[in-house]
Amino acid sequence: MASVILSARGLTRHFGGLRAVDGVDFDLQTGDIHALIGPNGAGKTTFVGLLSGRIPAQSGTIALAGEDITRLPAHARVKKGIAYTFQITSVYPRLSVFDNVALAVQQTATRDLASDVAAALSRVNLADRATQTAGTLSYGHQRLLELGMGLALRPRVLILDEPTQGLASGEIANFKQLVRSLAPETTVLLIEHNMDVVMDLATRITVLAAGRHLATGTPSEIRANPAVQDAYLGGHDASA
């Protein structure tokens, strides 16, 4: 049986009267590609913000490989092995592609920065663009650069927030191939509105609705779940 690399119990975050995340339990198994889905306003982005430390939890606990990280800030969680790529590209547009990845690599205990940057760029097929200014990349290539920055951290858990947003169909196909290549060495938590991508990539899926856990299961189990069909798969907006 696979071990649990990241878990949450009773995780809660309210914003005034809005219960963005309301007592959620969650387990991420080592080596999985686990998708997090739900209708508009389900609390997906808030939830991964809590897991990554970008948003403090009001109650509940978070553990990474059994270690309580509930009170650790985001930068400390990065060093523990959690990398989070954002829904909107977060590259440094005036720096080169190489320097963007180098900034990420410097957060790890690297012995050979140039080699580690080259390896990350090669992984996302951007090695031939190392000297290009990041802001001149296409949107799709900027998303790949952001993914390369995440991989350069050598994370145990990589959280991808709407990674295919704005990508062309050919770029999505390449992205799926890349994500598959990460497992099982890297565990992936994927927030994604494109259900074709979710059903094709994910080994397990968790559904949130109104800030609460609705269901977790394999893609076939989630497809067949009446509560999920009613809350989400019946045609509701899938954006975070």
136-153: pLDDT as tens digits: 998 888 888 999 999 988
With a CB cutoff of 8 Å and minimum separation 6, the contacts of 135 are: 91, 93, 94
* pTM of the predicted model as reported, rounded to 2 decimal places: 0.89
Percentage with pLDDT > 90 across the chain? 62
The number of folded domains in the chain is 1
Residue 84 lies in a domain: yes
Residue 178 lies in a domain: yes
Could you tell me the residue range of the domain that residue 138 belongs to?
Answer: 31-55+72-233
Residue 38 lies in a domain: yes
Question: What confidence score (pLDDT) does residue 234 get?
Answer: 57
Q: Are 146 and 120 in contact (CB under 8 A)?
A: no
Handedness of CA 174, 180, 181, 185 (dihedral sign): positive
104-143: pLDDT as tens digits: 888 777 778 999 999 999 988 899 999 999 999 988 888 8
Q: If pLDDT is split at 50, 70 and 90, which confidence band does 41 have?
A: confident
Residues in the chain: 240
Q: What CATH number has the domain bearing residue 103? A: 3.40.50.300
Higher pLDDT, 221 or 171: 221
